[in-house]
Amino acid sequence: MTFKLIKTGALAAVLLVAPFAAAEAADMRLKAPVYKGVPRSVISYYNWTGLYGGLNVGYGTGTSEWETLWLDVKPKGMTYGVTLGYNWQAGSLVFGIEGDYNLSDMKGSATCAVGLTCQTENTWFATFRGRVGYAFDRFMPYLTGGGAYGNIKTSINSLPPLSSDESKFGYTLGAEG
């Protein structure tokens, strides 16, 4: 009877362990994974297409040539503005348009005659540009170019004071990366 009980106990132990051993054996990998081919193109996971906007702060410098007085005034100062743009992405190429409007505190003055000061001031400016870039996922170097339009004030502190206030058109070129 003792032998029969041990035989039944051993059988019960084997039946309890067998399902776990079988499950473990079924999960074993029989072959290494097989990869077929190489991807034909790089997939950009980040999509640059869409509308965007923002705020900007900057510092500007320039040169104002007073031709009749053979004088150069060097205005400089802070700028504050808003930006709005749209990008289209085709593969890794990104095309876009962008514009901004900025208030400016750029001023400069120089002595233009005995007791007289000539001043140049830029009170606001706006730019509108096209751009083309190449997307490397979340990094996109690009070239940009377009027009610039702004207000230029000039004055001489004479008696009576002389001043001019006019809007001027120019261009802008740049690169970023």
Which domains does the chain possess? 50-176 (2.40.160)
| pLDDT tens digits, 33-59 | 666 666 665 555 789 999 999 999 999
The secondary structure of 91-111 as a DSSP string is: TTEEEEEEEEEEEEEEEEEEE
Cβ neighbors of 139 (< 8 A, separation 6 or more) are: 177
Give the count of alpha carbons within 13 A of 93, CB side only: 4
| pLDDT tens digits, 73-132 | 999 999 999 999 999 999 999 999 999 999 999 999 999 888 899 999 999 999 999 999
Specify the pLDDT at position 1. Answer: 47
3 state DSSP class of 148: strand
Residue 151 has pLDDT above 90, yes or no: yes
Q: Which amino acid, 174?
A: G
